[in-house]
Structure 1
Amino acid sequence: MSTHNNNLVPLPFKHTQPLATLADDILAHLANTSESTHPDALRPDALAWQHLRLRAFAHSGLPLVHKDSGPLLEQYYAQLSFILTKLPSETPLTFPWYPLFISPSSLPSTSASGAFPPTAASAAPLAPPLALPSLEYERAGVLYDLAAVHAALGTERTRNDEAGIKAAIAAFQTAAGVLTHLLTLLPRLHASLHGGPAPADLSAPTVTALRDLCLAQAQEVAWQKAVMDRLKNGTVAKIAARVAELYALARGAAELARAGTADAQPFAFPEDTIRYLAIKEAHFGAVAQYRRAIDDLGANRYGDELGRLQLAEDKLQEAGKLGRRGVPDAVVRDLKASRASPLPLVLVVLLMLARGGTDAEDNNLIYLSPPTPASSLPPIPPATLARATLPPTLAAPLAHLRAPAIFAALVPRQVAEVLELWEDRKRGWVDERVEARARALECRAAGLLTQLHLPSSLEASHQPLGVPPAVLDAAARVQAEGGVARLEAMMQDVRRVAGVNARMLKEATDTLDRESTADAAHRAGHGPPRWTRPSSDAAAQPLRERAQQLEAVLRTAGDSDALVRAKFGEWEAALRVLEGGRDALAREVPASGGGAGGNGRGEGEGEGEGDAQRDRARRALRALLDQLADLRAARARVVDAARTSIAQCEIRERVLREAERRAAEGRARGGEDEGEGEGVGVGAREGSGLEEWEELLEGEGERLMRVWDEEMRRSALTLPTSDSPTRQAQHSLLASASATPSAAQQARERATAHYATAGDKFVEMLQNLQEGLAFYAKLGKLLGELRDACRSFDYARTAEAQDLARALSAAPSLSPPPPSSAPAPAPAPGTPRRRTPAAAAPPARGPQGQGQGQGGEATPRRSTRRAAQAQAQAQVQDGPASPAPSAVKTPARSKKKAAAPAAASANAKEEEEEETREEEEAGEREEVPAAAAAVGGWDPSQGIRFG
């Protein structure tokens, strides 16, 4: 049904594109990420996903407007919710969706079959699709199109009988409920984008505007039903006032979406849509005032009647000034005529005002009731009959899966995250509580040996000639690892990768600076009041903070590289000697001057008791060094055993059992908790995370690490100290030697210690450079991600700026009045003020077609009032008059006022009007809750009941 024959409009659909390779792409992703399930076992599930999406959107990328489309989209939504319990929302797959309102100058429309007509706009969308790697994005698009299907079904219902009206109201209320649910899921969508630009057509103001549009149209159909049931004029006025209020809210949200907010990009709502909302708002504001004017007439509130008629005329003129371009013909006809009254509502109001205009002087003279100013008119309290209704299949989607769950064989996503966190914890425990403590103990032992010049001093004392074995071992290590050339090559590699990382960081910051400069130019060109999108400083703040963090890390790494280069410069000469082998070392390590076992003082000087004492000291020291070496080897074996044992410790079954227990508790709590937790994890609720698993992880970790903590504690107790036997044996060896060692002996010991230490420094620098290369590789990955994020940010902001610039250049503002940035707040009860305009026509008195006759009003009979006024006029001018003819009955209150003095008439009039108003409001309070109660108990499949 075309919108030109309908005074209600559907929601625009979100186009998508078929994903012919969805199954293959998801299987390729699972092959790289799933360690527990083979991808071939998941192929049927992947194909089922691809087939279900194709059924939901067909090859055109649009759902059909049919009663079977709703359950199909609900089923796809439920499957996506279940998939989100197995997979993270961020995936390598991208889901393309076109923005809303692909035709920027027309209202959304549906053909007879429910699909968009084959126009150029639908065949070739003006904007490219936005493809995002987020399952939350796909789910939001599905949920929105489900709301659009319900809204389209509501517009296609024939509303000339009670069944059609009930079905239309049910459809619009369901559409509003779906959009309300979508609003609750938008934070998850934004979180899945990790600070990237969110789709402007799925922002909170945009969805709110369309939600309020659905509620307004549901309330409008309820108003039509109230007119058909001939409810009191005061009741109809309250229902119409709520219609106007909802259209005003929708218009305010749409204008807020056009302007943009701190959390949402500007979205170019079509002018025709905002014009349609403004006309409806003004029209129903006039309808509410007109109906209340009839009510005031019956209650003899003549001043209020004239004031409300004047206000209704103002609102109708306001609707006429907005223009008709792009507005459905049926909406324009609502302002003109209906079956119940061949006169347009505008003319009806003008005729009533014309009749009342000649009586204005009569009111002033007789009834003391001049037209009430608009600011003094009592506000019309709105009566809400339409409310957003969420289907149970969306409130608890996992409980309404009517087909086998897709990827049920996969480990739940939160379980996988817990297991991944467990692996990270195990690696951390090995590093911090085993390897780090072992390294600290090793450094203390090495420091003590270096302080005692061991084992080089022992070897120098035992072997006064030739190169000591410790130095030869150091030279062998240096030669085996490539020597100085390898260190120089690795330092060059470190400088190269550090430069690459620095260039990536500079490229990222330059991209942000370039975008900031472009944004400043746009802001200066269009002016800050019009260029309302967030500034670059605010939008790019997370990226700039990340860049600053990585820059600090890169600067610290550069300082560490400088220390390694300085260390290399200090030990380069010694390393080149070690690299030269035995011959080079023989030239650098002097002899002590004596033969084997001598002390450098003569051939026979070391014989006798002194030599025996030195030999005993050497053997004791050698035994202690061997014992220390055994302890160090045992500690290394403990570290290896701990590394292997901790890596093999699994808690998979324990976590699965705990997850199932929590899921069962969630199901026992009911569908509401399940609906809150869908997409988060098995049994998890919204806002919950891995912190609720901390107790389990900490308990398992303590049980696992208890034995290895004890092993490391025992290993620390065996470390040599200042009064250890090793130090005492070294002192004994020195005491057994000559009291004054020769210069040659001292030089040999210094050279031996120097080159042995050089070998240790070589190993240390080699490890530092290897760690540096690995560090820069990881840092390069982070910087690459930052650079790509900055590029994506620049691309999205540039496209957004171009769209906003085109919108500012091409879109004239509606007149009158200028658009507001937010919907006006509802007046406080009892506050006299002019109500916000609303747009729709007054009701007819009988069943009408949905495209016609919903806006006209029949002219009420005014003979009673005119006769009373005529009689009062005659009494004032010509004295008492004869009773009026029986065909024209004069109200008793009017006769009473005419006979009383002017002051008494005024007081009596006020008292009687107050009594009459209280009686009428009591009757309306009885009538409106009856209709509202019928709405509150309605069945979504049956629509709404009245009366």
Structure 2
Amino acid sequence: MTALLSIEGKKTDPTAWTPFIKQYIADSYAESPDQYGDDCTTIDQLRSQSVNLPSHPNVLTRLQQYYAQLSQIMTKFPLDIGIQFCWYPINGSGSNSVGHKNGYFEKACVLFSIASMYSELGCSESKDSAEGARQSCIYFQNAAGCFQHLRDVVTQEIRVSPPPDMEQKILTFLSTLMLAQAQECSWKKALIENVRNGAIARLAIKISDFYLTVADLATDDAVAPHIPPSWPLHMRTKANYYEAVAQHRKGIECTQNGKFGEHITRLQLADATLRKAQQDMSSSQSFWTSTPIINDALQRSVNDLQELIAEQLASAIRDNDTVYMDVIPAASQVSAILKFEIVKPVTPIIVTNPLNEMDLSGEDPKRLKPLFSKLVPFAVHQAISVYVDRKDLILKIDIMKKIKELDDECNSTLQTLGLPSSLEALVQPTGLPDSILAKAEEIQHEGGCEALNKMFENVEMLSTKNAALIDEAVNELGKEHDEDERLRRRFQLEWIRPTSISLTSHLLEKGDKLSETLENARNADKIVKEKLNNWSRLIDLLSLPEKAIEQSIPSGTTTSSQGDVGDEVIKCLKDLVDECNENIRDRQRILDEAQSIHEQDDISPLVLRRASELSAGSSTVKIETSQFDPLFTTELGKYSDLLSQVKKHSQNQWMLLNKIQDANNEFVAKRRGNMEVSRREKALQNLEQAYLKFKEIRTNLVEGIKFHSQFSKALVKYRDICVDFVMARQIEAVDLSREYETMENNPFNV
């Protein structure tokens, strides 16, 4: 059996899933990450117990389990949850690692390691027995299948350019090389089992064909940098060797069929091929040494076969000259040996359908349990998020924003025209108008400036608490970094665990973003406080008893009554203003109804049911968000009537405001100027404006309290993740320190 080649497995830097998964669950799934602590521990253990380890069937099993769990995890999470996976090129073709924040990149590198381990196991099996050769053949076919699946499927999922040692051409090269060696093991098994010479020849000529293909691929610029320089010669030599083997065995078959002349021709062909192999090996010797770079075992095989053929050729020629006297055909006249390809790429089921190899029902204790099974598939989670975004868009943009624009336009127009204050100042020259009384009662009911100040104090308290949470988290990370640097200086090169900054960069980036968000919110809070200070005097006035408010407003005179204006003009303008206010109240009803529908609009059960229908119960069917669009369209139909009502308001309001403008122009033209009425009108307008500012400030403060309260929950999760990370690092540091201290105290204790 000539020398077989194994593929070096890829090496990687240590990486922990746990902090990133917990952070993502906390941010995106609105669930406590603590309930997935065991799953996080398991995935970290699987990685550390399978990568960077020597080949062994048990290690291969763990690698396959890690690959299967990766496939499961990628249905729950997006490809980038912040983890930087760093893997090194094979065969020392580059000293720097290649890293991507991409779960599919990790999956691709793990599959490469699985294929490599299959190749190593194929080489390690004994070929002295038929069973050993058969098992080696299976391993090499599995390796070929894994490299092929990596090329055709997994690297297509990465969505970034694969590293140079996983480009299409090199994966084709590796897969074909594994098939060549699998065919070689089948040939060896046939030899052991004394299969007839014709079949042996057909197997051997296919081996030669395989090696010719990989020898050509090995010289490609995309392949050559990633394989040892001796491999192309190794493959050409094997191609020549197995061509000679095929001709030799076919020649033996010729003698059994009485074709003694053809036997000689085939031995001559075999001899010429082996001489070519010898010439290649001789020319490959180093200038500085006579040691050939070709494998010793392969060189011995070539030499032994050449000696055997030389002896048999001399004997065959002598026998034919003296006994058989058969015509010796030219090499071009002998028929080509038919190729018998007995191998093919065989991809393990756990690679092609990893989820099918898991115990999804939870009823089989012998099968692999899928991690994070309680989380809905990421595609479903994403679909729910898409629907939530769409319904939020309808509520916040198409309804809330549009209604606010209409209300603002309406209020702005009335304020610009001095309505309804100018009407009330003329119609009711003394006392408080009903509209001002209603506004004052509302402000008093809601607590006036005292309530607003208390709300602002609540906002400040929440803001301060949130700032403290960020500081606590960042300070914990800073302390851990300082302690790690201290231990690194103490133990120097022996302190080989990843640096703090390499593991916490994403947490620090998250902290910076959270700090920036909080600072923006605090600046907005200051603007609200300034508005409150500017309008507090007039808001306090509306909080006084009716008599006190009335005394603060100038009175008109009975002589400046509406008689000169005309009851009809006043009534027309008053009716239009009332209609405008009624529209505002109707839009509030629309908004309340929309918010109620929005709060109860949970599409999760329908999406899960639809996902089940799409997958037909199979966990391997890929679900795309676009497949839920018909369901989204149907469910969003519940907002259609409200959207139509808002659109109708939008179409009608411009006509109403134009009528109010025209009626007010007529009202102003006919109203006689009177300073007392003007002063009263201005005072009423100020109270109207103060009421609107009270409502605006109160809305701002309610939103501020809501923001800081929700933001606090996110900050608590962020703080807890940082604290958990620091605690885990501290425990790890204590254990490592004790281990190194023991080694220092007992330097000869291995």
User: Per the shorter chain, which TM-score range?
Assistant: 0.5 to 0.7
In the alignment, what sits opposite 2:370? 405
* Residue 634 of structure 2, aligned match among 681, 694, 699: 699
Inter-CA distance 306–277: structure 2 relative to 1 (3 Å threshold): closer
Long gaps (5+) in structure 1: 105-125, 261-265, 471-577, 583-594, 668-673, 678-683, 765-947
Give the direction of change, closer, same or farther, for the CA distance of 1:659–1:722 in structure 2 (3 Å limit). closer
Distance 1:180 1:701 in 2: 45
CA contact (8 A) 1:419 1:652 kept: yes
Judging changes above 3 Å, is the alpha-carbon distance between structure 1 residues 729 and 424 closer, same or farther for their aligned structure 2 residues? Answer: same
2:362 aligned partner: none
Report the counterpart of residue 393 of structure 2 in structure 1: 428
SS of the aligned residue for 1:337 comes to helix
**Of the candidates 348, 371, 376, which is equivalent to residue 391 of structure 1?**
348
**Residue pair 2:261, 2:328 contacting (<8 A) in 1 also:** no
Tell whether the 8 Å contact from 1:289 to 1:311 is kept in structure 2 after alignment.
no
Q: Number of residue pairs matched?
A: 569
Which one of 206, 210, 213 corresponds to residue 242 of structure 1? 206
Alignment correspondent of 2:103: 135
State the Cα distance separating 1:14 from its structure 2 match: 1.8
Q: Give, in whole Å, the separation in 2 of the partners of 1:240 and 1:391.
A: 27
Q: Please state how far the C-alpha of 1:715 moved relative to its aligned partner.
A: 3.4
Name 1:621's counterpart in structure 2.
Answer: 573
Q: What is the distance in 1 between the residues matched to 2:375 and 2:424?
A: 63
1:247·1:278 contact (CA, 8 Å) conserved in 2? yes
Report what 2:472 is aligned to: none
Q: Does 1:159 align with 2:93?
A: no
Query: Which of 161, 167, 170 lines up with 1:203 in the alignment?
Result: 167
Summarize deviations over 1:159-207 as a string: whole Å, max 9, x none. 222222212212211222222222233334421xxx4x43222222222
The correspondence of residues 411-810 of structure 1 with structure 2, limited to 5 A, is 411-438=376-403, 441-442=406-407, 445=410, 611-614=563-566, 617-618=569-570, 620-636=572-588, 638-639=590-591, 641-643=593-595, 645-663=597-615, 665-667=616-618, 674=619, 677=620, 684-685=621-622, 688-703=623-638, 705-713=639-647, 715-716=649-650, 719=653, 721=655, 726=660, 729-730=663-664, 732-733=666-667, 736=670
- How far apart are residue 86 of structure 1 and its match? 1.7
Deviations 1:377-420 (A, max 9, x none): 75444210111222233333223232332112222212211111
Using the TM superposition, give the Cα deviation of residue 236 of structure 1 relative to its aligned residue in structure 2, in angstroms.
2.9
Counterpart AA for 1:183: R
CA offset at residue 458 of structure 1?
6.6
Deviation at 1:350, TM superposition (A): 8.1
Separation in 1 of the partners of 2:282 and 2:249?
A: 20
Seen in structure 2, the aligned counterparts of structure 1 residues 317 and 379 have a Cα distance that, compared at 3 Å, is farther
Query: Which of 3, 7, 19 does residue 3 from structure 2 map onto?
Result: 7
Shift of residue 628, structure 1, vs aligned partner: 0.9
612-621 vs 46-55, which moves further: 612-621
Task: Tell me the amino acid that sits aligned with residue 22 of structure 2.
Answer: L
The one-letter amino acid of 1:222's match is S
Q: Secondary structure at the match of 1:92?
A: coil
Identify if the C-alpha distance between structure 1 residues 646 and 166 changes in structure 2 by more than 3 Å, giving closer, same or farther.
Answer: same
The structure having more radius of gyration, on CA atoms, is 1
The structural deviation recorded for 1:356 is 12
Structure 1 residue aligned with 2:452: none
For residues 906-938 of structure 1, the C-alpha deviation after alignment (integer angstroms, 9 at most, x for no partner) is xxxxxxxxxxxxxxxxxxxxxxxxxxxxxxxxx
Q: Secondary structure at the match of 1:438?
A: helix
With normalisation by structure 1, the TM-score equals: 0.51
The alpha-carbon deviation at position 217 of structure 1 amounts to 0.6
Matched, 1:330 2:292: no
**Larger fraction in helix:** 2
Tell me the residue number matched to 1:317.
Answer: 279
How far the C-alpha of 1:690 sits from its partner, in A, is 0.8
Native 8 Å contact 1:283 1:319 kept in 2 = no
Q: Write the distance in 1 (CA, Å) between the matches of 2:575 and 2:581.
A: 10
1:53 has 2:15 as partner:
no
Could you tell me which residue of structure 1 aligns to residue 222 of structure 2? 259
Aligned Cα RMSD in Å?
Answer: 5.3
- What SS does the corresponding residue of 1:56 show, helix, strand or coil? coil
8 Å contact kept, 2:145–2:347: yes
Could you list the runs of 5+ residues in structure 2 that have no partner in the other structure? 286-290, 359-366, 430-434, 437-533, 539-553, 697-750
Q: Quick one: which amino acid aligns to residue 178 of structure 1?
A: C
**Matched residue SS, 1:96:** strand
Q: Distance in 2 between matches of 1:409 and 1:454?
A: 60
Identity score, percent: 23
Query: Structure 1 residues 344, 135: closer, same or farther in 2, change over 3 A?
Result: farther
For the 8 Å contact 2:82–2:101, the answer to whether it is kept is: yes
| Cα distance, 1:271 vs structure 2 | 0.9
Aligned to 2:21: 26
Q: Distance in 1 between matches of 2:23 and 2:417?
A: 60
The yes-or-no answer on 1:276 pairing with 2:234 is yes
Deviations 1:878-924 (A, max 9, x none): xxxxxxxxxxxxxxxxxxxxxxxxxxxxxxxxxxxxxxxxxxxxxxx
Corresponding residue SS for 2:653? coil
Whole-angstrom distance in 2 between the partners of 1:443 and 1:651: 33
In structure 1, what is the Cα distance between the partners aligned to 2:116 and 2:340?
Answer: 26
CA contact (8 A) 2:180 2:211 kept: yes
Which one-letter code corresponds to 1:51 in the other structure? Q
1:168 aligns with 2:136: yes
CA displacement at 1:290 relative to structure 2: 4.4
Shift of 1:456: 9.2
| 8 Å Cα contact 1:437/1:712 also seen in 2 | yes
What SS class does the counterpart of residue 16 from structure 1 fall into?
coil
Q: Give the deviation of 1:614 after TM superposition.
A: 3.6
Given the alignment of the two structures, is residue 83 of structure 1 paired with residue 17 of structure 2, yes or no? no
CA distance in 2, matches of 1:393, 1:241: 33
**C-alpha deviation, 1:312, in angstroms:** 5.4
Residue equivalent to 1:35: 30
Alpha-carbon distance change, 435 to 259 in structure 1, aligned in 2, over 3 angstroms: same
Deviations 1:258-279 (A, max 9, x none): 337xxxxx95322123332232
Q: Deviations over 1:614-669 (max 9, x none)?
A: 46523541442243134224424533552464255212222233334444x243xx
> What secondary structure sits across from 1:429 in the alignment?
helix
Q: Distance in 1 between matches of 2:53 and 2:13?
A: 9
* Cα separation, 1, equivalents of 2:82 and 2:14: 17
CA contact (8 A) 1:422 1:697 kept: yes
Whichever residue aligns with residue 321 of structure 1, its letter is: S
What are the Cα deviations for residues 511-555 of structure 1, in whole angstroms up to 9, with x where unaligned? xxxxxxxxxxxxxxxxxxxxxxxxxxxxxxxxxxxxxxxxxxxxx
Change (3 A) 1:282 1:377: same
Q: Does the 8 Å contact 1:176/1:214 carry over to 2? A: yes
Q: Which amino acid aligns with 2:53?
A: L
Give the whole-Å Cα distance in 2 for the aligned partners of 1:440 and 1:426: 19
2:608 counterpart letter in structure 1: L
Contact 1:136–1:188 under 8 Å retained in 2? no
What's the CA shift for 1:712? Answer: 1.9
C-alpha displacement of 1:462: 9.0
TM-score by length of 2: 0.63
What letter is aligned with 1:71? T
Counterpart AA for 1:242: K
Counterpart of 2:483 in structure 1 is: none
